[in-house]
Every structure is written in structure tokens, then in C-alpha cells.
Amino acid sequence: MSQQLPSPAERRGGAVWALVITGVAGFMAALDNLVVTTALPSIRQDFGGELDDLEWTVSAYTLTFAVLLMFGAALGDRFGRRRLFLVGITVFTGASAAAAMAPGIDALIAARAVQGVGAAIMMPLTLTLLTAAVPAARRGTAYGIWGAVNGLAVASGPLIGGSLTEHLSWQWIFWLNVPLGLALLPLARLRLSESFGTGAPLDIRGTLLASGGLFGIVYGLVRAPVVGWSDGLVLLALFAGASLLAGFVFHGIRARNPMLPMRLFRSRAFAGINAASLLMFLGMFGSIFLLSQYLQGVLGYSPTEAGLRMLPWTGMPMLVAPLAGYLSDRIGGRPVVATGLFLQAAGLGWFALVVEADTSYAAQLPALVISGIGMSLYFAPASSLVMSSVLPQEQGIASGANNALREVGGALGIAVMASIFSSRGGYESAQTFVDGLRPALWVGAAAVAVAGAAALYIPGRRRTAAPGKGAAAPAPVPETAAH
């Protein structure tokens, strides 16, 4: 007897469960990018050491996360996406508990690095598993909700970290992940379907080249603001990383089964959305990193008060991103993404115009709202564009590559904007902080504006020939990879 196909109601239920599971997993991984920043002073009180040393509690996670994202996606394609997703959740949850119980700064940094490994395994598989569970006609809306959750996690990291530190202790930043991870494990095992990629053998050479190259680049970027861009180790790391990545590109062109086929970049959709993602995270990460310090150090808000005042920006994805996903289904992703990026650039530019040592919240509010709407319009359609720009069996590695570029963009944004801030201002007084913040925000706004231009490079949604009189208008053709 043939196996009975699932009913429409069962398929809808499976899609809802997939959205919940992948959304929570993505939230945990994205949250831990910046959640530690507002807790660094408290960690220093407990463990001692210089603040520069404590910054590695942020950087260790970013390094392993960015370096291993594509490898995590490749492992999922080869050995089973649900299986590796479960492995990633297990590693991430265990490392979170280890970080909460760390007896010293070295143990905390090591636990953060292992957290990044778990996040790198599970994060690129969230989109692949969600895509497999949701019907094509509703993926834009699903990506919208997924993007809202992830955007909220990235932007609200300082708020959540500051609130937990202020009202409980910094250890609760990491304990928060443990019950979530333990709840996800049985749900993912029971509710997600297994899937595989192309079945090609693992690309060990490509993995080593990509991992080594990304490690060198990200290490150089996160160290440069601390020791200076002319430091010998920073220059060596950047040069070695760039050389290895050049070798990775050459390998992707010539190899038979490369981890990331360079032919994917012949698709204007794939190339355009990845360039836009890198530049978007460059401008957004660096701006949030500095503005959260501005609200606390210059305007005198507590971590919780600063986070609450940023809610018109950081909380907006929960309201607008599902609508953005719906619009991308109706009119295509390119106009929605481009509009969002230009709005985000305008919001950062507004901040740069009004920022002073005593700027009122009313003067900041328009910039916060504009930035929030812009970020919301970007996240959902961007995910849809990435997944629709490649063949179904290539979606795992496409998701991994896009997430890796986002992480590198975030590290680059913090490094570049912190260097601009240090060269033009400093922490000596409120005015010197503003003197450094203003040019950094202009650079962030410019980067996001260029991201908007890159989004316009993506092909628009194609339509069939115009219908005759009285005929119904044809449905638009979805964006696909145009190799």
C-alpha cells in the first residue's frame, strides 16, 4: 500500500512548527553577537583584567561563527540537515551553560568560541529547513517572520544583555539559552523532516582555505581597533587571510565539487544580495555598537533605559518584517530590499546630523523610526532573495555563504567605525565622544546606501506578455538564478 500524502492542514502545521523551531534557533545564534557588550563592565568586576581582554568575549564568538558557517552548511548537506541542526543546538546549548559557569576570563572566552561553533552549524541550516517545510507561495511571509525574529535578536542584544546584567547577573545572558536549547532538541527531532544536499563529497581543501582566510580577515578586523591598523600581527593576519580567500576563489572556479561554486556569483541576484548583506551589516553593526555606548556613556541612561529608548529601531522588525515578506511575494524582493536599505541609510544620516552631547530623545526619534522601518524591510526579502537565487540543492551552502558575509560585514563595521571613532574622538568627555561618533555614523550611512545600490543590481521580477483586453493579468514570474 502506498504511503498517504500529508493533508494541507498537516503541511501547514509542519510549516508552523518549522518556523517556530528555526526562528528560535536563529534568535539564539543572532542574539549572542552583541548580547555581551553591555555586560563587559560587570564581567570585569568579577574576573578582573583589562577591558581590551574582555572584548574577546565578543570577538571569540564572532570569529568561530563567521569562519565555520559555510563548513556547517556543507556538513548539513552531506550528512543530513536535521541531524547537523540537532548537533549545532546541542553544542551551542552546552557551551552556553559552560560560559555561565566559567570560573575565569580564559574559560569564558573558550566557551564563547565553542558557542560560535554550535551557532555556525545550526544557523545556515535554519533557512534550508524552513524552505523545505513551507510551500513556495508562502515562503516570503515565512521569511518575513524569520527575518523579524533574527533582526530583533541582532539589534536587541545590548538591551537584553544590559537588562539581565542590571537586574540579575551577567551569567543569565548565557543561562537564557539553556532552556530554549533543551526545548528545541525534541521538537526539532520530531517536527522537522530530514533533507540532504547534492551528495557531493566534502571539499576539504576548500574548507581549509575558506576557514583560514576568514579567520585571518576577521582576526585582523577585531584586533585592529585595539592595537592599531599598523600592528605587524594585524597586517600579517589580513594579508594571509586575503591570500587564502583568493586561493578559495580560484579553487571554487577550478575544482570539480567546490564547497562554494564561484559560478553562483554569475547570478546577479546572488551577487547583488550578498554584496548588499555585507554592507548592510557593516553599517548597522558598527552603528549599534557605538550608539548603545552613546546613550549610556554620554546621555547617562542605564543599560535597560538605553535599550528601551532604542525600541523604535530595534523592535520595529516585529511589526514591519512580516509585511515586508508579504510585499516581496507580491512585487518581488528587489524593490523592498532597496527601499529598506535606503531608509536605513537615511536614518543613520539623520543620527549623524542631530547627535550632540545633550541631544533630546525627541530629536532622535525620527532617526530611530526610519532606521527601524528600513531594517525591517531588508531582513525578510533578503533571505528570500538568497534562497531563490540558487537551485534547491544549493540552498544550504548559499545560506552559509550569506551568513558568513553578514558576520564578516559586522566585524568589519565594528572595526572600521571604532577606528574612525578613535581617530576623531574618544572617551575623555561627552564632546569628544560625539566628535568621534558623528563621522563614524556618516561612514555607516554611506555603507548602507551603497548596499541599497547593490540591491538595485538584482534583476527585477519578470512578467509575461501583457494580456489582451478583458483577460486576467498573469502572475509574475518569481526571481530565480540567472546563470
| High-pLDDT (> 70) share of the chain, % | 79
Cα–Cα distance, 114 to 99 (Å, whole number): 9
Question: What local confidence, expressed as pLDDT, does residue 165 receive?
Answer: 77
Residue 405's identity, in one-letter code, is L
Mean pLDDT of all residues belonging to the chain:
77
**Quick one: average pLDDT of 187-195?**
77
Query: Kind and range of the H or E element at 172?
Result: helix 172-175
Question: What local confidence, expressed as pLDDT, does residue 396 receive?
Answer: 67
pLDDT level of residue 249 (50, 70, 90 thresholds): confident
Q: What is the dihedral of CA 422, 423, 429, 433, to 10 degrees?
A: -70
Question: What local confidence, expressed as pLDDT, does residue 478 receive?
Answer: 40
Predicted confidence (pLDDT) at residue 5 exceeds the cutoff of 70: no
For 109-129, the pLDDT digits (tens) are 899 889 988 888 887 777 777
| High-pLDDT (> 90) share of the chain, % | 10
**Quick one: average pLDDT of 300-311?**
77
Residue 259's identity, in one-letter code, is M
The CATH number of domain 9-189+259-456, selected from 3.40.50.300, 1.20.1250.20, 1.20.910.10, 3.40.47.10: 1.20.1250.20
pLDDT level of residue 10 (50, 70, 90 thresholds): very low
Return the higher-pLDDT residue of 329 and 428.
428
Predicted confidence (pLDDT) at residue 451 exceeds the cutoff of 70: yes
Terminal C-alpha separation, the chain: 42
Cα–Cα distance, 295 to 306 (Å, whole number): 6
pLDDT level of residue 461 (50, 70, 90 thresholds): low
Cα–Cα distance, 364 to 310 (Å, whole number): 9
Question: What local confidence, expressed as pLDDT, does residue 183 receive?
Answer: 87
Question: What local confidence, expressed as pLDDT, does residue 436 receive?
Answer: 87
Cα–Cα distance, 345 to 338 (Å, whole number): 11
pLDDT level of residue 393 (50, 70, 90 thresholds): low
Residue 88: name the closest of 26, 7, 160, 150 by CA. Answer: 26
3-state secondary structure of 383: helix
Cα–Cα distance, 447 to 285 (Å, whole number): 11
Question: What local confidence, expressed as pLDDT, does residue 13 receive?
Answer: 55
Question: What local confidence, expressed as pLDDT, does residue 148 receive?
Answer: 67
For 50-94, the pLDDT digits (tens) are 555 666 777 778 778 777 777 777 777 777 788 888 898 899 999
